[in-house]
Amino acid sequence: MTAQRSAGEQGSPAGFNQLGSWPVAALLEEMATGGAAPACGSAAAVAAGLSAALAGKVARRSRDCLGDADDLIRRADQLRRRATELASADASAVHAMVTSKAMPEAARAVPEEVRDLAAELSQVAARLAAHGRPTLHADAVGAGRLAEAARASAEAILASNTPG
């Protein structure tokens, strides 16, 4: 996906399936256009992905400080990949919700998974902030803050998508 997409690709479910491969500038531009998707859920998933990327970085560079660094690296990488998938899934769910005027199951399932993934990342980041390489403390704290932003955003989506 390039920053310059054809008119047929903008806001299309096919384009959303590739959201994880979009350049950052293209993702931000698409969010800013005012279209229905990508929206808050995709942003939350991207924030979780950034959190996982920072956590993976800190864990990789803290192997001498952490006996479980390899486990933390593995888990951060898994969560980062899943967050990327969830960013696309949320954009597709929002598009489906807006075009069909119905609430697809994914409109709840995706933010729930983002919330849970972000909660786990908060724990990983806290461990890294407390026991990781001191020179990377800001990265570990940043990972925790990004995870918290993702969790809070997902909670807000769930509240707004709950009937009643």
Domain boundaries, given as residue ranges, for the chain: 37-160
pLDDT at 164: 65
Phi, psi of 106 (to 5 degrees): -65, -25
**pLDDT cut 90: percent of the chain above it:** 63
> In whole angstroms, what is the distance from residue 109 CA to residue 158 CA?
9
What's the rounded mean pLDDT across residues 58-67? Answer: 97
- Would the pTM of this model clear 0.85, i.e. be above it? yes
Alpha carbon 74 to its chain centroid, in Å, reads 17
CATH 3.60.15.10 fits 37-160, yes or no: no
Burial class (CB in 10 A: 0-12, 13-18, 19+), 130: exposed
